[in-house]
Amino acid sequence: MKLMKILDFLKSKKVLTVAQLVLGGVFIYASIGKLINPEDFMKSIGNYKILPPIMVKMTAYLLPIIELVFGVFLVLNIRPKLAAIVLGGLLIIFIAAISFALIRGININCGCFIQSQMIEKVTAFDNIKAIIRDLLLLIPAVLIIKKSYRNKP
């Protein structure tokens, strides 16, 4: 019986609204430092040693714009399913990139927020915390996507 109440609660409009505001707000906040200081973000991306230099520069300039636009979409309830799919996809990419760095023994600054761009010394534990944070942020993305599918006629 309690499980049914929890499931009903997770399907509620209030939970969907909170999920949109949290996920959208996090991505808006994350985009600000990257937009203000793209050079530091570029260094963070380059430290992953995954992308060629031209892609690093392009990513450093485009990613914060994508984060900002789709974060605003969620907060303003504009195409929430699309926004949640895009931002959820970014979270999966971030998780994969950080995991790949950890597997290779590279402790890097994820560049996720302006504060993380200021941290000089990063440990494997810091990167594990970033992965856990991103996994937790997938929860509201999934709730938004599932709720949007459920609302189709």
Residue 23 inside a domain? The answer is: yes
Residue 76 inside a domain? The answer is: yes
Residue 31 inside a domain? The answer is: yes
Tell me the pTM.
0.87
pLDDT for 153: 43
Residue 92 inside a domain? The answer is: yes
pLDDT tens-place string over residues 25-74: 999 999 998 999 888 889 889 988 899 999 999 999 999 999 999 999 99
pLDDT for 110: 77
Q: What is the dihedral of CA 70, 72, 78, 84, to 10 degrees?
A: 40
74 with 84: CB under 8 angstroms? yes
Alpha-carbon distance 72 to 80, whole Å?
10
Alpha-carbon distance 144 to 80, whole Å?
7
**How many residues appear in the chain?**
153
pLDDT for 140: 95
What average pLDDT does this structure show over 100-107?
88
Domain of 29? 16-147
Question: How many domains does the chain divide into?
Answer: 1
